[in-house]
């Protein structure tokens, strides 16, 4: 690989994560405004939140009957659940960026770094899949 190619990969990755992060942030501002304005009825009313924020995540889920993992997808018509969409984008920016890197590294015949990126994607997808979760204490 020559010097320019290396620089190009860095710049390409910078561009990808920059745009994706800004998109996620703007959407988060939008959906949070929808949530607190009450345009869409929240699944858990804002006034009730103070009852839950002092308890563990496991007890919160139990009390509110919220399904963890990807359960929010089926409840996007609720103002609070809508916010999980941009949060997912923000938490997925790195995965998207690395997917783009795989192509770049293999095209430049950098097999070892390409394999590291693939392993990294597998780790991130494992985390994002919801297979690994914990019920809390």
Q: Which residues bind other proteins (CB under 8 A)?
A: 1-4, 6-7, 9-11, 13-15, 17-18, 21-22, 25, 28-29, 32, 35-36, 46-47, 49-58, 60-61, 66, 68-69, 80, 83-84, 87-88, 90-95, 110, 112-113, 116-117, 119-120, 123-124, 126-128, 130, 132-137
Q: Are 34 and 82 in contact (CB under 8 A)?
A: yes
Distance CA 45, CA 23 (A): 27
- Least separation in angstroms between residue 80's CB and other proteins is 6
We find the least distance from the C-beta atom of residue 43 to other proteins, in angstroms, to be 11
For residues 107 and 9, give the distance between their C-alpha atoms in angstroms, rounded to a whole number.
11
Handedness of CA 43, 73, 89, 119 (dihedral sign): positive
Q: Please state the closest distance from residue 35 (CB atom) to other proteins, in A.
A: 6
Return d(Cα 52, Cα 40) in angstroms, integer: 21
Place of tokens 């899949």: 129
CB of 130 to other proteins, least distance (A): 5
Secondary structure element (H or E) that encloses residue 111, with its range: helix 111-129
């Amino acid at each position: 690989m020559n010097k320019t190619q290396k620089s190009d990969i860095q710049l390409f990755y910078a561009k990808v994560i920059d745009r994706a992060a800004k998109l996620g942030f703007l959407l988060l501002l939008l959906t949070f405004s929808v949530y607190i304005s009450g345009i869409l009825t929240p699944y858990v009313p804002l006034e009730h939140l103070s009852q839950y924020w002092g308890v563990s995540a496991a007890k919160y889920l139990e009390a509110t009957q919220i399904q963890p993992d990807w359960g929010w997808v089926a409840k996007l018509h609720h103002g609070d659940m809508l916010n999980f969409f941009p949060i997912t984008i923000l938490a997925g920016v790195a995965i998207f960026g690395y997917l783009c890197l795989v192509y770049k590294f293999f095209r430049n015949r950098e097999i070892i770094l390409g394999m590291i990126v693939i392993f990294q994607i597998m780790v991130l997808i494992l985390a994002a899949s919801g297979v690994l979760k914990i019920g809390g204490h």
